[in-house]
Structure formats: C-alpha cells, structure tokens
C-alpha cells in the first residue's frame, strides 16, 4: 500500500526555514514564518504567561479530560474578548469550543459547515493565508476566491471585492480576516466593514471570520470592530480565533471556534453539533494553553500586564514598519514603499518579482516567501541596514 505514495510538495514557508537554518552567513535574515520576534530576534514567553503557568502548575489537581468543548471558563473568556459587552452574550446566542490552535478552529468550522450543508462552498480572499485552502479542502468544502489585494497599486481592491461578493450564492460561506490580513497586511476600514456586513445580510452568505491577530493591529477592541459589526448585522456567524500570537502561545496550540445562532435554542443545537464534530475529529482539546489564557483573563493584575505586553509587541511592529520605509529612502531607493506604513500586523508584500526574491536569498541570505511577503517582526535595529542595503542593490 505505502509503495503507491507520492511525496507531497514541500511547504514553502517550512522549506524556507530549513534553508535559513542551514545558511552559515552571519548576516542572514529570516522574514518568512509568521512568528513574532523581539529586537533580539527571540520569540519571548510573556511575563504574564510565566506567572499564569506557575499558578497552573502549583494548583493543578487532575489530568482528567475537560470534555469535547474544553474549559467552559476559557470559552466564556474568549467570547468576551471577541465580542466585548455584546447583547449576543447576554442573549446566550454564542457557543465556543476550545480547539488545537487557530488552524484547529478553522478545520472545525469547515467540518461544521459540511455538516450543515453537504457540498458546502467557502470563498477566501485572493491572496489569503497559504493554509486556508488546504484546511477547508481537507474538510470536504469547495474553495473559491474573491479579489482582495491590488498588487500594482499596493492597496485593497475593495471595488472588485464587493462586486465578487455580490455574486456569492446564498448559503455559501465567505472567509474574512478580522484584522492584520495575512499575507497583505491590508485591512478593511470601518466604512468598508459596514458595506461587507450589509452585503452578507442582503445576499445571505455565511460570514466566517478568522481573527488570529487580535491586538496586533490597532488594539484589542479596534481589531474586533468588523467582527462585532458583523455580529450586529447578521443572525448567524462563525468566528475562528487563536491565542498563538497575542498570548505568544505558539506551542500550546490553543484557539477557539465560536458560532453565533439566531437565538438561544439554535445556539444549543449548534453547541451539540459542534461537540459531536469535535468528538470524531480529535475527541478532546488540549488543556494547558486554555488554563494559561483563562488565568490571565480572570485576573485584573495579569490582564493589565498582558495588555501592556501586547501593546509593546504592537508598537514594535508599527515602529518597524516606519523604520523600514525611512531606511529604504535613506539608502537611495526611489520606489515608493510608504504603503507599508498603511498596513497592519506582521505581514506585507514588498512587491518585488521572483528573480529579485531569489537574489535576496542567494546573494544576501535574506529569506522571503516567493510572493515577496515578509514578516515585519523579523526586522530589527541590528539588521535593518543590511536588509535595506540589500534591497537597494536588487531594486
């Protein structure tokens, strides 16, 4: 049986990391994987996380299963983080289950959609996170795309996006990035969110909102604006969230899949179906990461510390965007890169071609995804001059 297997193509980002690690150039720079890094190039464990972990270890009394939905306290805290003081929570219309990371939440959402509607179709932005199509295809969905990014003008192609969404059949799902769009960094503004929400209501498609970077754009509440507006506008909504970035819990694999129903009775059925899907998919979610998050969000002191640490990460990313643009101009680059400062989160397209991406890697040991997407958080005061000098040479 195994002799019939064919090796799949290498994951472009994971393959890039392997090449980076093998590179002996002391000036090498890794701008590929979407992982936050501090000025020293490390992915730190947040101080609030260290405290919460110690409390967890000191007070844990059992290793028994939590149940398919995971920790009810974590689920409630995540719903509060997503929606704030929203009527939906007061009306008991939301059901959240803990998932193995944001990817697990997306896969669960896909499986749930397939359960609701055989042969379901989901529309994703072009471009989108590289794993979206694979996750939803593996869940048995048909994946289609709608226009999103204008590569020539380095901006959101909102007119083309809305025109495409007008053609989406009722009952199809549409994936929307809540903030810090991966890979473009280009987000909808508040007015554009209003138009998309009205389209969802008018056309009857199911919004699926991926919020993997809440707090990395403009702030926790600001980054949830579109999500909350959509929740105000439509009766039913799916939200997939992750604690990997904003809590720095990459290894713990903890996220949440939250589904809003039109009323409490519908939400009860949604919850029962979700638990059944979880049971046959991975049975039970991991507990450690959820315990850390719920401990932080249940403590005023730890929450305040988390807010401060999250702001520090956000400010570093935004400051690095500005620094990159200034340094490129300083190195004599005449091409306009100011679009980088108008984007949010860790990602941006440089807008260079494949030959230039290859030169960056081969000649300068600067590792960038073939699409020219970079992780801004991989840039620091210590490497920005080498980076911009190298870019000036290949432009």
Give the catalytic positions in this structure: 129, 210, 245
Ramachandran region, residue 70 (left: φ > 0; alpha: ψ -120 to 50; beta: rest): left
What DSSP character marks residue 68?
T
Q: Which residue has the tokens 């990159």?
A: 324
Contact yes or no for 48/306 (Cβ under 8 A)? yes
Bridge partners, 300 (sequence order): none
* Residue 367 DSSP SS3: strand
For 369-394, b where at least 16 C-beta lie within 10 A, e where not — what string?
A: bebbbbbbbbbbeebbeebbbbbbeb
| Closest CA relative to residue 181, chosen from 189, 172, 173, 171 | 189
Distance between CA 317 and CA 319 in Å, rounded? 5
Helix, strand, coil percent values for the chain (each to nearest 5): 50, 15, 35
CA angle 192, 193, 198 (to 5 degrees): 100
Beta-sheet pairing, 237-242 with 206-211: parallel
Distance between CA 94 and CA 319 in Å, rounded? 37
Burial of 48 (0-12, 13-18, 19+ CB in 10 A): buried
Q: What six digits make up the tokens of 4?
A: 């019939």
First to last CA, the chain: 50
């Amino acid at each position: 049986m195994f002799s019939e297997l064919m090796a799949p193509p290498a994951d472009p980002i994971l393959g890039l990391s392997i090449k980076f690690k093998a590179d002996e150039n002391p000036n090498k720079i890794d701008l590929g994987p979407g992982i936050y890094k501090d000025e020293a190039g490390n992915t730190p464990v947040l101080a609030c996380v260290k405290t919460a972990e110690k409390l967890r270890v000191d007070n844990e009394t059992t290793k028994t299963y939590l149940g398919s939905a995971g920790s009810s306290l974590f689920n409630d805290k995540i719903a509060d983080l997503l929606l704030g003081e929203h009527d939906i929570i007061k009306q008991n219309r939301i059901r959240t289950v803990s998932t193995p990371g944001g990817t697990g939440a997306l896969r669960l959402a896909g499986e749930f959609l397939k359960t609701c509607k055989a042969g379901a179709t989901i529309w994703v932005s072009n471009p989108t996170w590289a794993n979206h199509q694979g996750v939803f295809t593996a869940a048995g969905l048909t994946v289609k795309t709608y226009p999103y990014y204008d590569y020539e003008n380095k901006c959101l192609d909102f007119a083309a996006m809305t025109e495409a969404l007008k053609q989406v059949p009722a009952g199809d799902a549409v994936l929307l990035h809540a903030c810090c769009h991966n890979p473009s960094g280009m987000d909808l503004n508040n007015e554009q969110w209003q138009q998309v929400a009205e389209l969802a209501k008018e056309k009857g498609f199911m919004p699926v909102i991926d919020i993997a970077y809440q707090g990395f754009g403009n702030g926790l509440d600001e980054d949830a604006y579109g999500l909350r507006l959509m929740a105000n506008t439509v009766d039913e909504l799916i939200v997939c969230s992750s604690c990997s970035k904003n809590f720095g819990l990459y290894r713990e694999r903890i996220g949440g899949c939250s589904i809003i129903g039109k009323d409490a009775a519908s939400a009860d059925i949604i919850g029962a179906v979700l638990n059944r899907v979880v049971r046959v998919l991975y049975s039970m979610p991991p507990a450690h990461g959820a315990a850390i998050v719920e401990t932080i969000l249940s403590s005023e002191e730890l929450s305040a510390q988390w807010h401060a640490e999250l702001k520090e990460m956000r400010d570093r990313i935004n400051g690095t965007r500005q620094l990159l643009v200034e340094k490129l101009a300083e190195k004599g680059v005449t091409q306009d890169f100011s679009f980088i400062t108008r984007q949010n989160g860790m990602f941006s397209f440089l807008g260079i071609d494949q030959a230039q991406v290859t030169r960056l890697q081969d000649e300068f040991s600067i590792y960038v995804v073939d699409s020219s997407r970079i992780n801004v958080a991989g840039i620091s005061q210590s490497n920005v001059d080498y980076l911009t000098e190298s870019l000036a040479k290949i432009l």
